[in-house]
Chains A and B, each alone.
Chain A
Amino acid sequence: MNTVRKQRLMLVMFIVAVSTLGVGLTVYAMRENMNYFYPPSKILAGDAPMGRSIRAGGCVVPGTVERADDSLLVRFDVTDGIGQISVTFDEILPDLFAEGEAVVLTGMLDREGVFVASKVLAKHDEQYTPPEVADTLQVDDTANHTAKCKGMSYDS
């Protein structure tokens, strides 16, 4: 190999090494900020970590929404058809939040297994169920994401 080629090879190897290191470090840093999604049944099974930010979602169980008299605090249950978890939230709920509709939550689990939400997202419109929720719901309607919570029974 002549010197020019050797130099080029060194340069290429240097770039490859540096960028690999860079990507590795960023992905490592990303892990700290990644929010994994857990359906309620997985949370009940103890799969979700406590005290760090995660996401959860499901259908709001009708009749479980309770509001405080003096603050914005609201408490409701969310189900995926197998398990049911309690959620608390003390900010303004989104416009499309309703009983029997799908929500996606970001927040942490407290010691009692209550999901303390910091963000609540409701579905965008009447025909749509968020994909995370639709994929984990135990309803026999696998093809599409249309209004899955409506097809559920909340007996469990």
Chain B
Amino acid sequence: MIPEFGQLSLIIALLMAITLSVIPMVGSFNGKLIWMSASRSLAAGLFVFVAIAFALLTWSFYVSDFSVAYVANHSNSLLPVQYKISAVWGGHEGSLLLWVLILSGWTLAVSVFSAKLPLEMLARVLSVMGIIAVGFLLFTIFTSNPFDRVLPNVPRDGGDLNPLLQDFGLIIHPPMLYMGYVGFSVVFAFAIAALISGRLDSVWARWCRPWTNSAWGFLSVGIALGSWWAYYELGWGGWWFWDPVENASFMPWLAGTALIHTLSMTEKRGVFKNWTLFLAIFTFSLSLLGTFLVRSGVLTSVHAFAADPTRGVYILGFLAVVIGGSLTLFAFRASAVKSVTGFELMSRETFLLANSILFAITVNFVLLGTLYPLASDAFNLGKISVGEPWFNMFFTKIMAIVAVMIGIGTMLNWKKTDASKLRFWILVPLIASFWIGVLAPLAFRGDYSIPAAISVALGSWVILSTLSDVWRRTEKASTRTAGLKRLSRSYYGMVLAHIGFALSLLGATINTIYSDQRDMRLTVGKPIEAAGYQYELADVSQVRAQNYNADVGEVVVSRDGEELFRLSPEKRRYMSGGSIMTEAAIDAGFFRDIYVALGEKLSNTDWAVRIHYKPVVRWIWLGAIFMAAGGFLALADKRYKLVKKAETKPVPAKTDKNLVGQEAIAK
């Protein structure tokens, strides 16, 4: 019965979502207060029923109810309990349910933290989010129902969760990523509401910013987790492949980055309102596109997609309605929200605008590289894949320009700046970073690398110019600490995020240039030398665990004859399904990782072993954490107290309005 209750609560959630997408919206045009305020309780109801459905599916996984097709396909009685739970979102149906759960969670959050929002605006925002929920609930119920049963022939055991997904990284990666993806629906809904009302002022931007920042922060963490997971779990030692699935999550992040920056202009100066609205629509559209790419099967093959097109066609249709609808609305209404004030060339606006344009261009590059192979296959122009060099070529160049601009842009004032006053504050970090860049490659083994010099110079320029700006802004204060205290939290958020950008930039470039990656044939007991370390395969033993058997190697790593540490890479064979998995062993460090993975057994004494020396690879993810932390820190700024105050207030019980909601459903 449990799965049927899950099914039922999904259907109730759908009815709630339909009501939410109609009643408050209509009410906002008719001025009916009760209709509009019904939005809050409907949002709560939607969340509760989706949460019940999700909890019941989780329960089915927990008790291994293999009469549920989705459970039977993605779980197994041998699976450790934490993976039974995370298997809930290990497949298509469950991850869609997670999508809807998170969407209803954001909807609820908006309704709770919106004490100061005009009712009309709130009603429209929640209604738009309701429309999105309707789309995804319909999709879940009709094409990807996680509660479908396999009756009467219930399988005795499940087909197991893909061993790749039996990992801590995969427990938290999808929820984080979805928090980001779906979080952009909030600013999207705000944009649509603004277009409908034709009112877009700095207050509007102030409402949007915390939501956008937090979605962007979650997405940053989600992408970093995915990259980290690929690094240690896939056994190749790479951290980014420009794979379409990665690009699908990276595109909304790039657009979101542009959006965060234009929102700050719209809030502070009331300029580029249309561009901000467009980016809000664009960012969420990319989230939807990402969902389509990953969930429709179109990436595995255009033809596989054509063979079973129900899911893909549905999302494509939904995509067309949402994107087409919102862009049409944008075309008709954008002129209603005009920007008035002007600014000069040497102003923060110029740099922020250029930043957002650069990021928008980057998105289009990535989009082209991701969709071109699909189009080529669909039109029978040949099966192609776009190589990583192409992505790297444009991406590094655009990011280099971004890095140069960050340093100057943060120092400039709004509207206009007397550049001569900044000369000292720009020149000092400029000269310092130039010399750091020139000298840095000497510290590494091998030939002098000019790309490394440029990357280090750019990275240190971003960090030093940011710090120089902090120094400059605290100069006039009575004491340095007093000055530091006076700077706003959103300013510190920016500082953190920009330093994070520099860390990721340094990590990615230095790692790419100086990594030493080798595949070698190792004989037990015979040490070899690579990148200044000696590696000896001491032993390979068999180990048995709960749901797999493994060959575990023991690799002794030493330097100049002195043993440093031992690594135990594993080769696992999972009992159900028989999949083989490589578990790399990593000695992680702030300045370098040593990465050892076991390949095949070549003879009784010989094994293929992958040995990588990876400098500063951790900085890539550390940078992402800094960026996310910056985004979240900015939320705590005093300006957004509107949101903060509401937070402390208990949610008032609204039994009367709940009744209204339920009556509406009864109809």
Query: Hey, which bits of chain A sit against chain B, CB under 8 A?
Result: 22-23, 26-27, 29-30, 32-37, 53, 55, 67, 69-72, 90-93, 95-96, 124-126, 131-132, 135, 143-145
Contact = CB atoms under 8 A, between A and B. Distances in A.
B571 to A, nearest CB: 8
A37 B383 contact: yes
Contact of A90 (B390, B393, B519, B577): B519
B235 interface: yes
Contact of B304 (A34, A95, A145): A145
A33 B599 contact: no
Contacts of B449: none
Contacts of A90: 519
Contacts of B520: 72
Given A72-B520, A92-B599, A34 B300 contact: no
A29 B307 CA distance: 33
Interface of B: 162, 235, 300-301, 303-304, 307, 361, 365, 368-369, 372, 382-387, 389-390, 393-394, 519-521, 571, 577-582, 597, 599-600, 602-603, 608-610
A36 B384 CA distance: 4
A36 B361 CA distance: 26
A92 B368 contact: no
A26 B301 CA distance: 24
A111 B307 CA distance: 39
Given A36-B383, A37-B384, A126-B577, A71 B301 contact: no
A130 to B, nearest CB: 8
7 contacts: A29-B394, A30-B390, A33-B386, A33-B393, A69-B603, A95-B580, A96-B579
Contacts of B610: 92
B396 to A, nearest CB: 14
A23 B521 CA distance: 46
Given A26-B365, A72-B521, A132-B383, A95 B389 contact: no
A27 B579 contact: no
Contacts of A92: 519, 597, 599-600, 608-610
Contacts of A71: 521
A2 to B, nearest CB: 16
> In the complex, which of the residues A23, A34, A71 has the most CB atoms of chain B within 10 Å of its own CB atom?
A34
Contacts of B599: 72, 92-93
A26 B608 contact: no
A37 B385 CA distance: 8
A125 B162 contact: yes
A131 B383 CA distance: 10
B580 A33 contact: no
Given A72-B519, A125-B579, A32 B390 contact: yes
Contacts of B365: 26
A28 to B, nearest CB: 11
Nearest to A89: B519
B303 A33 contact: no
B578 A126 contact: yes
A100 B603 CA distance: 21
Contacts of A135: 301, 303
Contacts of A144: 307
B301 A33 contact: no
Contacts of A53: 387
Closest 5 CB pairs of A and B: A131-B301, A92-B599, A33-B390, A37-B383, A33-B387
A143 B385 contact: no
Given A37-B384, A95-B580, A95-B581, A131 B300 contact: yes
A71 B303 CA distance: 40
B602 A67 contact: yes
A35 B521 contact: no
> In the complex, which of the residues A90, A131, A143 has the most CB atoms of chain B within 10 Å of its own CB atom?
A131
Contact of A95 (B235, B303, B307, B390): B235
B393 A36 contact: no
A70 to B, nearest CB: 7
Contacts of B600: 92-93
A72 B606 CA distance: 10
Contacts of A37: 382-385
Given A33-B389, A55-B383, 18 more contacts: A22-B361, A30-B372, A30-B390, A33-B390, A34-B386, A69-B603, A71-B521, A92-B600, A92-B608, A92-B610, A93-B600, A93-B608, A96-B579, A124-B162, A125-B577, A126-B577, A131-B304, A145-B304
A23 B368 CA distance: 8
A144 to B, nearest CB: 8
A79 B444 CA distance: 45
Nearest to B391: A33
Contacts of A29: 390, 393-394
Given A26-B365, A96-B580, A55 B385 contact: yes
A32 B577 CA distance: 40
Contacts of B368: 23, 26-27, 30
A35 B387 contact: yes
Given A90-B519, A126-B577, A131-B303, A95 B582 contact: yes
Nearest to A23: B368
